[in-house]
Amino acid sequence: MKLILKEKVATENMSTKVAQKIWDTLLSKEKNFSVFFEGGLGAGKTFLVREILKSAGIHQDIPSPTYTLVNEFQASGKNFAHFDFYRLENKNDFFERGLSEIAEDESRNTFVEWADKISETAQRGFSGKKFLIRIEHGKSMGQRTISVYDLPEQ
């Protein structure tokens, strides 16, 4: 695991700039990718995914997939899937609901919140170059540290 970017942000505006930087310098260059997000409740995972998707050219409403488990988008000839596994009751739900078909599809780039709620086998099944974005609460209200890691091939 190699650290690619580490930013401290204190405002949504700064998070938007970090999202743009992540898209421009890293994700836009990949043919296919999967990004796993780590961070506690309220850390800003969904906000950052939305901002990255906006940077990728998504101009429609980008709702949270907390209840639907996955939302799909298309822009600039690319397909995106945004997963949120917070509400999964057990690790097998991923396969039982047929979500592996979306995850393994090399024509989709994926963003995954709460990946620890699915099995390691399911995590390995996501297609493309894999990255981890860790968002940690800072010392003051609203401050976050956003770290981006390049995950090794498995």
Q: Consecutive 10-residue runs of the chain (154 residues): their mean pLDDT?
A: 72 86 95 96 93 95 93 94 94 91 96 95 95 88 88 79
What tokens were used for 105?
């599809």
CATH for 17-150, among 3.40.190.100, 1.10.10.10, 3.30.420.40, 3.40.50.300?
A: 3.40.50.300
Predicted local confidence at residue 94, as pLDDT: 92
What is the C-alpha separation between 34 and 127, in angstroms, rounded? Answer: 6
Predicted local confidence at residue 101, as pLDDT: 94
Predicted local confidence at residue 15, as pLDDT: 85
- AA letter at 59: H
Q: Would you say how long the chain is, in residues?
A: 154
Predicted local confidence at residue 92, as pLDDT: 86
What's this model's pTM, rounded to 2 decimal places?
Answer: 0.92
Predicted local confidence at residue 154, as pLDDT: 64
Predicted local confidence at residue 2, as pLDDT: 66
